[in-house]
Amino acid sequence: MKSLNVFTSLFVLAGCGICLMASADPTVITVHVDKPGAKLNSDFYGLMTEEINHSYDGGLYAELIQNRSFKDDPNTPVHWSVIPSVSAVGSLSLSDNDPAAPALNKTLELNIKSVPVGGTVGAANDGFWGLPVKPRTAYNASFFAEATNGFTGPLTVSLESADGHTVYAAAQVPALSAGWQQYNLQLKTGRITASTNNRFVIYGFHPGTVRLSLVSLFPPTYNNRPNGNRIDLMETLGALKPGFLRFPGGNFVDPGHYEWKKTIGPLSSRPGGDGAWNYHVSDGLGILEFFEWCEDLNMQPVLDVTDGRGWLPGNGDVAPLVQDALDEIEYATGGPDTVWGAKRIAGGHTAPFPLHYVEIGNEDFFDNLDVYNARFAPFFDAIRAKYPNLLIIATRGDITSRVPDMVDDHYYHNPQEMEAMSTHYDNYNRKGPKIFVGEWRTSEAEHLVTMNDALGDAAWMTGLERNADVVQLECYAPLLFNVNPAAYNTPVNEIGYDSMSVFGTPSYYMQKMFALGHGDTVLPIEVAAAQQSTTPAPISSGGVGVGTFRGNVEFRNVKVAHGDAVLYQEAAGASFVGWKPYFGDWSSADGVLSQAGTIRDCYTATAAGSKWTDYSYSVEARKVSGEGGLSVFVHFNDPENFVRWEIGGRENRESGIDDMSNGFVQPLGHHVRVSIENGRWYTMRVDVIGRDMKFYLDGNLLDEVIDTPGHPEKTVFASATKDSSSGAVWLHLVNTAAFAQPVRLDLTGSPRVDSTAAGQILKSDAASYNSITNPTLVVPQKLTIKHVSHSFVYTLPANSVAVIDIGIQQ
């Protein structure tokens, strides 16, 4: 499909379907070296994180003991087992009585009933799906213990193989006191072979009960921070040279999942919580540790503060949450004379953290706009008044109560959609708030990220870079995932790991190439694709329909006509006989068809097997309530093949036209600003003549589209930046086609160019992916291009992403 400016002459394209295939003609990419555009924000490429997929517990946070405070399951000490030696008898149980600290309200009791001389009974932990032990390494073990029922010690703490046959390191607590006390030991391994099938055990030798709390084991951490992070993961993240870190969510920011005031101070005062993704979280990586993570990797913090989404009733009092946000900002940035700054200093970090970005909530389009409008304003006013230099980010672009500095947009789509959406910000209103793309990801299937996903990601990223005058920050989500099937919530993520190893997905490597290889100024760029016309595709045909997205909507007076001939009409009071509901809760009464359900895409269409090609389809539509807008369908054949026009959706900002062909969605048309009012009837009309479709709202022509079936249309994507000090031009090129494509690169102004260009290329079969067992199947290779000039041809390999650094002689 192509969209035309409504004033463009139509006959040029009429009758010409376009199919893609390998072409000998190069695609021409024009880089306007002599017309530098906006500066790329120095923080542009960043990271987004939350506790999902065991990102921290069992991930970045280096703690090796799973369920260290026995709260993962209220009834059973999961990941713990009792290890009695021959003829010894003992058991483990959970107790709610007399805890070591109020926040540690579950105690593990190791009950040693009988034990022969030389025998033992131990409490063993199996780690986060493996307990990694490495040679010549010092591990810091600690736990609270209290001896009862006649037990006085000693205890032996052991790092050993899962069968207990090999002890890698051990240490002793000679005697235990009757009351709670914390014990700290160091376990040092020798010349052993690294392994993960291991356990950590606390052994007793005499009858009695040992009560245990907060049992912890840390390997060496990044920058040797106590309570710190895994070195390999920090290095993998650091290699991306990220400009910022968005934390702590995502959904994790919502109240009940992450309450920052409960994440500060000693670990024994952190109760942890339920998390957002169906597992208990320790909050060992708390607010101080988030900021220290930023400090360690030189990232700007993007602090997301909770606004009560999904928890506070729509009319609830937001003032306590506003105060909580102000306190959080003070905790990060305040001096010793402030209440919360003093607490940070007491926690060990004297210097204030730099903070420039604060986001209010996450994906607040799940609530009504009215709710977010009412909530955002007091946050904005309070933060702006106290911290006038902070940039304040909203989570929806249709906010009207205040003008945010930035809007956080999120996108999760398949590769075809992400490629098609690479133009998404081309027509964004330059006078509106700047954009933070705070979550985005291509995913084709519930599978590890493939090269095909990375191609979608790369195409999408070129669009963000080209529009860097508007797009200030971008980050992929989710960032981290533990590959154990019991650990992850979303299989498509950027960096995978188990307890011992880490791997980057093809998208990780693509993002690394982009983040490390770019200039500081955007160069305008045009891609004129080489396309080969083949037999014209047949003209589309089909029926008509109506729909919505989580909206309570109504439709009436449906008419399909060809000239004077009426092809279809709903007689007054008719009940839409023969219309087939696909999704949603549809009913009709008194000639009005209604949708009342709350699921995402709901639609219904004429089921007469209609094959209309030339017609005028009109319907009256009104939105009653809900999230989405009003949709009408033409060329409707089945749920995978149709054209849909929607108003009132897309945050009620603009009219949108999508083509769905064989299940692949592609946006069509222009960005026409339209907002609708609830309760008002609108007349939506689509005039279809052959390949030409015109879209009218209340009789006014909004947009025009020419139907040219076939997907995807574009297979070459590009962006360019310039290094203003060296003059070098950086190109990011993407070929999503399964065949090599020559591209001619024209640098305007005929600059004098170094004859050899260097860079990196990522290429592989579309279905290839990296994994724990094959971590480097898809990795970038060095690229050298010779005979470079201000106009040269380079052949992009099939399924490839190239980053090219062209030296310019100044």
Nearer to ligand AHR, 443 or 637 (CB): 443
Among 250, 378, 519, 628, binds ligand AHR (CB under 6 A): 250
Q: Minimum Å distance from CB 688 to ligand AHR? A: 36
Q: Does residue 359 interact with ligand AHR by CB under 6 A?
A: no
Cα separation, 661 vs 710, whole angstroms = 8
Shortest-Cβ-distance residue relative to ligand AHR:
250
Kindly state the smallest distance separating residue 249's Cβ from ligand AHR, in Å: 6
CB of 511 to ligand AHR, least distance (A): 16
Closer to ligand AHR by Cβ: residue 364 or 570: 364
Smallest separation (angstroms) from ligand AHR to the CB of 59: 15
CB 646 within 8 A of CB 676: no
Least distance CB 540 / ligand AHR (angstroms): 34
Least CB distance from residue 631 to ligand AHR, whole Å? Answer: 22
Question: How many separate helices (H) and strands (E) can be counted in the chain?
Answer: 8, 47
Q: Is 329 an interacting residue with respect to ligand AHR (CB under 6 A)?
A: no
Q: Show the site string, 256-295: x = touches ligand AHR by CB under 6 A, - = not.
A: ----------------------------------------
| Residue 249 interacting with ligand AHR (CB under 6 A) | yes
- Give how many residues touch ligand AHR by CB under 6 A: 10
User: Closest CB to ligand AHR among 394 and 688?
Assistant: 394
The distance of closest approach from Cβ of residue 78 to ligand AHR in the complex, given in angstroms and rounded to an integer, is 25
Q: Per CB under 6 A, does 444 bind ligand AHR?
A: no
- Options 57-65, 249-257, 263-271, 778-786: segment touching ligand AHR (CB under 6 A): 249-257
**120 vs 251 by CB, closer to ligand AHR:** 251
DSSP 8-state code for residue 133: B
Among 107, 110, 124, CA closest to 70 = 107
Output 255 or 690, the one with its CB closest to ligand AHR. Answer: 255
Q: Which amino acid is at 757?
A: A
CB of 480 to ligand AHR, least distance (A): 11
439 lines the binding site for ligand AHR (CB under 6 A) = yes
436 Cβ contact list (under 8 Å, min separation 6): 302, 357, 359, 393, 406, 407, 408, 409, 471, 472, 473, 474
Which CB atom, from 359 or from 704, has the smaller least distance to ligand AHR?
Answer: 359
Under the binding rule (CB under 6 A), the answer on residue 362 touching ligand AHR is: yes
Cα separation values, 536 from 2, 19, 334, 710, Å: 14, 8, 67, 10
Question: How far apart are CB 477 and ligand AHR at their closest, in Å?
Answer: 4
User: Is position 511 an interface residue for ligand AHR (rule: CB under 6 A)?
Assistant: no
- Exactly one of 4, 50, 435, 753 binds ligand AHR (CB under 6 A); which one? 50
Nearest residue (CB) to ligand AHR, 88 versus 475: 475
Neighbours of 317 (CB within 10 A): 11
Binding string, residues 574-613; x marks residues near ligand AHR by CB under 6 A: ----------------------------------------
Q: Which stretch binds ligand AHR (CB under 6 A): 243-251, 424-432, 508-516, 563-571?
A: 243-251
Q: C-beta of 376: minimal distance to ligand AHR in Å?
A: 17
Q: Report whether 64 contacts 200 (CB < 8 A).
A: yes
Phi, psi of 616 (to 5 degrees): -115, 120
Taking CB under 6 A as the criterion, which residues in 460-499 touch ligand AHR?
A: 477-478
Task: Enumerate the β-bridge partners of residue 780.
Answer: none
d(Cα 341, Cα 355) in Å, to the nearest integer? Answer: 13
**Residue number, 80 or 290, with CB nearest to ligand AHR:** 290
Handedness of CA 86, 89, 92, 97 (dihedral sign): negative
Length of the chain in terms of residues written: 810
Nearer to ligand AHR, 63 or 304 (CB): 304
CB closer to ligand AHR out of 310 and 710: 310
Measured CA to CA, the distance from residue 584 to residue 384 in angstroms comes to: 43
Distances in Å between the Cα of 186 and the Cα atoms of 121, 159, 327 are 21, 11, 37
Q: At a CB cut-off of 8 Å and minimum separation 6, what does 358 contact?
A: 302, 303, 304, 305, 325, 329, 383, 387, 390, 391, 392, 393
Regarding beta strands 300-305 and 357-360, do their DSSP bridges make them parallel or antiparallel, or are they unpaired? parallel
Q: How far apart are CA 521 and CA 32, in angstroms?
A: 12
Task: State how far the Cα of 399 lies from the Cα of 432, in Å rounded to an integer.
Answer: 11
Contacting residues for 288 by C-beta, under 8 A, at least 6 apart: 263, 264, 344, 347, 348, 349
- Beta strands 406-413 and 502-504, pairing class: unpaired
Q: How many CB atoms lie within 10 A of CB 809?
A: 8
Write the DSSP assignment of 709-773 as a string of letters: --S-S--EEEEEEE-TTT--EEEEEEE-SSS-EEEEEEETT---B-S-EEEEEEE--TT-B--SS
CA angle at residue 572 from 566 to 574, to 5 degrees? 90
Minimum distance from CB of 490 to ligand AHR (Å)?
6
363 binds ligand AHR (CB under 6 A): yes
**Interface segment toward ligand AHR; rule CB under 6 A; list 25-33, 73-81, 248-256, 676-684:** 248-256
Does residue 248 touch ligand AHR according to CB under 6 A?
no
Q: Cβ closer to ligand AHR: 439 or 570? A: 439
Residues 143 to 182 in contact with ligand AHR, rule: CB under 6 A: none
Measure Cα distances from 600 to 201, 569, 607 in Å. Answer: 50, 28, 21
Candidates 149-157, 247-255, 525-533, 566-574; binding stretch for ligand AHR (CB under 6 A): 247-255
Locate tokens 């009219």: which residue?
Answer: 655
Peptide bond into 313 cis (omega under 30): no
Binding span for ligand AHR by CB under 6 A among 245-253, 420-428, 456-464, 764-772: 245-253
Q: Applying CB under 6 A, which residues contact ligand AHR?
A: 50, 52, 249-251, 362-363, 439, 477-478
